[in-house]
Amino acid sequence: MATYNAKPDLGDEKNDYDSDSSETVQELKDFSDNFSFSNLSTCWVCNGYYGPCFGQPVCGTCHAFLFPAVTDDIVVTQLSDDEEDSGNDEPPQNSTHSERVEEEDNEEIEDEEIGDEEDEDTEEEVNPMEIAFERPKPNPPRNLNHYLELLSAPRIADRNTSRIELFPVEVLLKIFSYLDDISLWNASEVCEQWRRIIQTHTSQTMWKKYTRERWPLFQQIASIGNWFDMYSALMASCFCRTCLFQMSLKTPLRGLVDLIKMKRLRSEITCLRTGSAEGIDAVPLDNQLSHWQGSILGPPGSPYEGGKFFLYIVIPQSYPMSPPTVRFLTKIVHPNVSRHGDVGIDIIQHNWSLALTISKILLSVQSLLTDPFTEICMEPALGQLYDTDRSKFEGLARNWTWKYAMHEVIPPLPFL
């Protein structure tokens, strides 16, 4: 007869420990695999009041109201009477013209380099059904007035809509040839048939070019077998697709530019190229230096270690008097980062200083990954999880880092 005081042998104790440990690991894995932000079906700002968000964190109306795109209006530099009468400074028109000529030369050099890469990469015969290589530029996101007009005009239901699978392939290829690369990728997400057609009739050289254009800070470390899968993985790893359209804007130089802003940003570019800190980088995307892409590496010892996180930086016209807007493009689990990618850090909110630069902002964001501030959170649920169950939070953050922020090291698997 067994007694309650009987001591089990070591084998039973080891098995019990292993079973408890395996159950804990499986519980953490299930939690991290099945985690999702609350209220994913509607906009988390208006809760669906202005319409559907189509799987995005913010609907189009709220995005146009809260996160307007930087306009390319003419910026006139205000000069004082002494500066106007001195005549020592060169006219800004000459510098603008020289910069424009230099940029055109650089574009011609880049086109020649791309042409050389095409000759090396595309030795196979050209498919006559292949979608054209050159594509139009993406259109800017809609403004708030356009969304307000849509809200005031009722939609008429179309009862004669047909299934998209019934379109002939020749018609779809003709339509796809007029799409830019982001719209073409969005079309590939509609259904498996469209994705298969786009993969079959587009070249790897094209997707390699657009991957480098949309993600200039992306570094090819491992061998990439399919550039379309890499382009899709980078796009799918972002919080907000509307921010991707804003980041693709190429603002031309028009009229007079803000010399103070341009001089400050050019000095920051020089500092980033020569003496930037390890693990951070940033590069401008347009001529007026208004749209930037930044990147930070996950700090060692943190659950974000090994990941490379891309950020979208918008420089206002009043910079450096006003702070820039910083958003995460790469999905990340952090109490001080919203599901839209907004960063809750005081130096870009109410403690902005003229001594701060883009590199210092990126360093502050990187240090925030190792030391979250949970008293005021962008995502309160994540802050509560960080305070109550640290191991579960770190497992979730590590899982998202492997899934969304390590495409340079681990290429995405082919789409089945």
Of 67, 102, 123, which residue sits at a domain end?
67
Q: Are residues 243 and 262 in the same domain?
A: no
Evaluate whether 359 touches 268 at the Cβ level (below 8 Å).
yes
Strands 291-297 and 308-314: antiparallel
Strand partners, 327: 312, 342
User: Do both 355 and 239 map to the same domain?
Assistant: no
pLDDT for 305-320, tens place per residue? 999 999 999 998 888 8
Residues with Cβ within 8 Å of 15's Cβ and at least 6 positions away in sequence, in order, are none
Q: Are residues 222 and 283 in the same domain?
A: no
pLDDT along the chain (416 residues), means of 10: 43 51 64 68 83 83 81 42 44 45 50 50 51 68 72 60 71 88 89 89 90 91 89 92 81 65 89 82 88 93 93 90 92 92 87 90 93 86 90 91 92 68
Q: Does the residue 53 lie in any domain?
A: yes
CA 105 from centre of chain:
29
The structural domain count of the chain equals 3
Residue 225, domain extent: 162-248
Q: Name, in order, each residue with C-beta under 8 angstroms of 59's C-beta and a sequence gap of 6 or more.
A: 42, 43, 45, 46, 48, 50, 51, 52, 53
Q: Are 314 and 299 in contact (CB under 8 A)?
A: no
In angstroms, the CA 52 to CA 231 distance is 26
Given 230, 248, 266, the domain boundary residue is 248
> Could you tell me if residue 81 is inside a domain?
no
Residues 354 and 278 in one domain: yes
22, part of any domain: no
Alpha helices for 276-389 (secondary structure H) = 358-370, 380-388
- Tell me the angle at which helices 204-214 and 181-188 cross, rounded to the nearest 10 degrees: 110
Q: Are 290 and 399 contained in the same domain? A: yes
Would you say the pTM of this structure is higher than 0.85?
no
**Is the domain of 367 the same as that of 279?**
yes
Inside any domain, residue 228 = yes
